[in-house]
Structure 1
């Protein structure tokens, strides 16, 4: 069947995306490669949500490794009958895809909120840390970005990394949804083959 091969393809794609999410989230802790902001907790409230590490990362690795390891054609882990074994694999695929959707969805939502909220930084007028941007309009008004004096270029740093996380988690959501559809089609074909009926698979 073609479903196992497609699932492996999706699994490898999710593996790469999850690792990229983890790297992007870690970089958020070190603006411009400086560690002192993380050590003194001078970071925005959304940076510490671990949305890229846990959400778009570890929770997406669950379906990634499952899709890579599942053998639809030869799985008999649940039942001795071949079609029952395939059904078991398809159900497992749907369950772990839902886990991936939850993780990627969490990453997507937090990234969107972080972009709308703006970075935490020190300004010329305020000597303590604050969030100088009141709404998401700052994303289009680049002239206001120098308001953040420290960390240097923090607005560009945050916007770039949160945008990357938003895009990566969005792709993860699409891939997990496609895999659920793929597994459902595989279930229909397994049912057809189990009854020796002609089916379009």
Structure 2
């Protein structure tokens, strides 16, 4: 029991800073250069408002992080199989959150920022299929907010990287939880039959 529970707790401890980093990164996306006027005037890329980093990679990821970290600390009324089964369900919540964060960050990258150009407020890179990412010389189309393309690309790439790490951690715990939930009762039956 100690090994599987201890492993899950260490994974929960690893998830906590990742979730907090996702929340911070998304908050920075909502307030480019620390200004609140763009969110107030609805001048942000539309996918940012779906809160992929804040909700999926952040708040939703706190569920498995807390479950993993507190595993076995609530008393001895739960056996290990039930605890591992509960951690597997929490891991599935985490997988969903990580996928949500990754997909929305990717869609936002493809769409590009909403910014003020010579044509007014528009999405100058929306129809380019993300090719603008390889053409930094075109980023100067965006006049306001200043350096918005660099700001978005950096933070969205950070969110995608964090989402991948969260996905891997939750997948590892899902597999571990399922293996321990299924195999542990079998081991107990074997031990009981040997001792009988």
TM-score by length of 1: 0.89
Cα separation, 2, equivalents of 1:170 and 1:147: 31
3-state SS, counterpart of residue 143 of structure 2: strand
Q: Report the equivalent of 1:38.
A: 39
Alignment pair present for 1:131 and 2:132: no
Cα separation, 2, equivalents of 1:25 and 1:136: 20
Alignment pair present for 1:27 and 2:13: no
The Cα shift of 1:188 comes to 4.1
3-state SS, counterpart of residue 19 of structure 2: helix
Cα separation, 2, equivalents of 1:63 and 1:192: 26
* 8 A Cα contact 2:47 2:104, kept in partner: yes
Structure 2: 5+ residue stretches without partners? 192-196
* 8 A Cα contact 1:76 1:86, kept in partner: no
**Which of residues 152, 156, 177 is equivalent to 1:162?**
156
**Structure 1, residues 67-126: CA drift from partner, whole Å, max 9, x if none?**
011119x6423xxxxxxx111101101111101111111001000111111111011x21
Cα separation, 1, equivalents of 2:90 and 2:179: 17
Q: Report the equivalent of 1:194.
A: 188
**Which of residues 113, 121, 141 is equivalent to 2:135?**
141
Q: Report the equivalent of 1:92.
A: 86
**Structure 1, residues 31-68: CA drift from partner, whole Å, max 9, x if none?**
11122111212111011111111111111100100001
* 8 A Cα contact 1:19 1:57, kept in partner: yes
Between Structure 1 and Structure 2, which shows a larger proportion of helix residues?
2
3-state SS, counterpart of residue 122 of structure 2: coil
The Cα shift of 1:184 comes to 2.1
Q: Report the equivalent of 1:8.
A: 9
Q: Considering only aligned residues, what root-mean-square deviation do their CA atoms show, in Å? A: 1.8
Q: Report the equivalent of 1:103.
A: 97
Cα separation, 2, equivalents of 1:144 and 1:67: 45
The Cα shift of 1:189 comes to 4.0
